[in-house]
Structure 1
């Protein structure tokens, strides 16, 4: 691991000298800057591991430097140096992203412990990000830590080693093709082609030609022999998306290739044999389609050797922050966005996502485009998501005809919130948009409990 580099930004030269000496004694690389502009330049050029920043400096003060530093590197840990009289400002700086603060005169041992703790956290975050990126390489872009997604990844890991046919189910936008790619990339067939086919996008005659190829003159416009997708996928994997939309005649031909591994091109007589793994996907209930006579039962059992169900995003909301972070990183270079506000993230976590992960990706990209700063805010989200807060909270009180004083109104709101939350104080406070301690204070003030 590289030796951590500590940057000290302070207009007092003796303070910079003393801290540089102390940092070198601890085994760190130490550099300093005597003003905010020079400090920001060194953050860009030197890429320090941690910054010690004095709040009170002439010209550009510490708060301004902190704001600019966060724009340059949102993950850079910044420890604030402050005098006793400006502790409130230091706390405000922590709200802006500083990791800690010490008051002058400070205990050097305490500062060293603080630095080690925050460097350890940064190192841990770096390792976690590395492991996530490695996991993404290994399993495509399946991102998440929820139980449901961990189970999906475990099944993929097991089935990838085999040549078993796989049926992937799940709503539109849940990432069925990503899962199919993950199976292929982690299988012995990974060096061979992965060939996707959308069964709903092609009419029956064209679909047959696409899958099995055709001979010259097989139909009008067939001016030359064309290999089909099964031929192109030989040795690898073919992914049949929207398999439920495949016409009955084509279902019979697909059944044959699954059973015998053989087929003929359209207009041809030569029987061709291929070694292809089949992965199919659908967002529909195939068993219901079987009952309606729209899907062959024997084909279903041939496809359903291993089934992987991808849960909708609303059933794994704990994965939303990870997905948002991934998409921000994906679009960040193009649109200069590197973070999202807690308020905007909260709205995304509450939304039901009918379009699932695909919809989330589109919304993050849209927000990145219209965001003029570096952080996505609630106003950058679509109106249907911005309205969630109001809808969730609802109207908890109906105003009576007679007027109420502010005191009476506050008490009435607290009582209604308690009723709506079933007496749960934390939930009632959340309904009113205040902290639990503020809720308790107001409740006691009105003699509610």
Structure 2
């Protein structure tokens, strides 16, 4: 086996298909044995079917090597050839295998799988194991390697005496799976047999190699049990490398696809639960941004540790943290808010860590049973940020005026306008604290980035403010106008506008004029900087709907023809494809 791996233990794959051969090579097999049994397994039959007179076993193997295995694989190939037919020229078989580029030959199918009585009768008439040994000798004379397929120590010894260097000891047809046969021996017996066979062949030739195959070996763990006691030199896998993995893998994969709809329903139900948690704290919508936020909330709700909510003012950062606290079993009443912008550093330090002098004050970390929300993190002095970073890393802190360290597990949430990376880049966040917040960020999207949610945000705000539960409807043109507005104040501004629309509504339908009366003064005060151009609105809507004109037109409440004309007018034709 000079072309094989130089490692002390080798693995061969007994296969019957090109796909199996490629997979075995990719998995690191040292050599391939092409057997008619492998072909039967591919067809769904048990390996033992290879012993039936259902076709020319040798022709099947040689054709398989020529057309399917050799063109696709670079590993050494052993041809499994049968010597059972007395009319077949063994020398011709060997030369044919050599012409196909085979590295060696194995005697298979073999009379070794018949009982001793049947084997003795066949041997007496020239059909026995000796003829198979002659086949292997022919291979050696032709310059090919040979592996003797045996089932007894006597057969192994006979093959080694004939100068066959490699013995594949087969314990019987493989167990396991849907077509496996119950093993005749267990792993303990298999270990004893392997040790005895190895001893006997090594007495004849110190360089003989023992490979194991079949029987009770179904997994790598089973093989390890035998190797611990027998010191075999290698393993040949047939059913264990193709049939058993195929049966279990294909069955599991089929079940996965079969359950795809059920899994989707479970995922959608879970997502509705997550979105419901957001709606409970006033974060409404079903846009991609809100769905991604709900997924992040679910992820952070399953693990402990700090979380920071980032985003522009009014986007609902504190609401998101309330939803997270709910998922972790912390009620809103047990959330304590500290605002870095409204408190002095000394006040925050005392509130968090406490102090023992000046009458003594217990800090929140010493006794609080809920969670602490620290607002405006960027305004917190760096030395306090560092102390918080050390607390989050080690669960320890020191009380002011005291040297000994105290332990705590009070969770902490943070609020900031800029993302964590930006806070670090601008030097507003201490590295020790930033490290604890990496991968723990809830990024709240501005309202203008999710225009499809704006109608529901306003409707829910009006419903919350209404005293009788009745709210006016939004006309289609009104919704288009609302989506075009940039909402600089985000949810806070939306709630204010909702209150004004509700109190000023003269009918059950809010018109575009009603909305203009509220938004135009805001736009004039901002120097029109908050009004997105119609081109920007159309381009944004096209992007959100995958540049599908029909869906975009429906979203903008215009006809497809009107949308087409606007696309032409604003020079968006290069962007949009039908």
TM-score w.r.t. the length of structure 2 is 0.41
2-structure distance, mates of 1:308, 1:141: 16
- The superposition leaves residues 363-390 of structure 1 with CA deviations (integer Å, 9 ceiling, x where unpaired) of 2123333445555432552324688899
Q: Which of 351, 359, 370 pairs up with 1:210? A: 351
* 2:567 is the alignment partner of 1:426: no
RMSD: 3.6
Counterpart mapping for 1:40-439 below 5 A: 135-136=276-277, 140-190=281-331, 193-215=334-356, 217=358, 224-231=359-366, 233-234=368-369, 236-268=370-402, 271-333=405-467, 337-371=471-505, 375-376=509-510, 377-384=514-521, 392=533, 425-427=561-563
Q: Secondary structure at the match of 2:347?
A: helix
Using the alignment, how far apart are the partners of 2:465 and 2:316 within structure 1?
Answer: 19
List per-residue Cα deviations over 1:76-128 (Å, max 9, x = no partner): xxxxxxxxxxxxxxxxxxxxxxxxxxxxxxxxxxxxxxxxxxxxxxxxxxxx9
Deviations 1:201-245 (A, max 9, x none): 22211221222234451xxxxxx54433334533x3222222122
Q: What are the ranges of 5 or more consecutive residues in structure 1 without an aligned counterpart?
A: 1-127, 218-223, 395-423, 432-449
Asked whether the equivalents of residues 385 and 433 of structure 2 are also in contact (C-alpha less than 8 Å), the reply is yes
Pairwise CA distance, 1:291: 3.8
Question: C-alpha displacement at 1:357, in angstroms?
Answer: 1.7
Give the secondary structure class of the aligned counterpart of 2:314: coil
- 1:318-362 CA distances to partner (integer Å, 9 max, x unpaired)? 111111111010111179754334443322211111222222112
Q: What is the rounded CA distance, in whole Å, between the counterparts of 1:237 and 1:159 in structure 2?
A: 14
CA spacing shift, 1:271–1:178, aligned 2, 3 Å: same
Distance 2:298 2:531 in 1: 43
Contact 1:244 1:282 in 2 (8 A): yes
CA-CA distance at 1:298 after TM superposition: 2.3
Contact 2:274 2:295 in 1 (8 A): no
**In 2, Cα distance between equivalents of 1:349 and 1:430:** 17
Would the aligned equivalents of 1:341 and 1:375 in 2 still touch at CA under 8 Å? Answer: yes
Is the partner of 1:333 in helix, strand or coil?
coil
3-state DSSP class of the match of 1:381? Answer: helix
- The structure with the larger Rg is 2
TM-score (norm: length of structure 1): 0.52
| 8 A contact 1:161–1:188 mirrored in 2 | no
Distance 1:183 1:148 in 2: 17
1:391–1:163 CA distance, 2 compared to 1 (3 A): closer
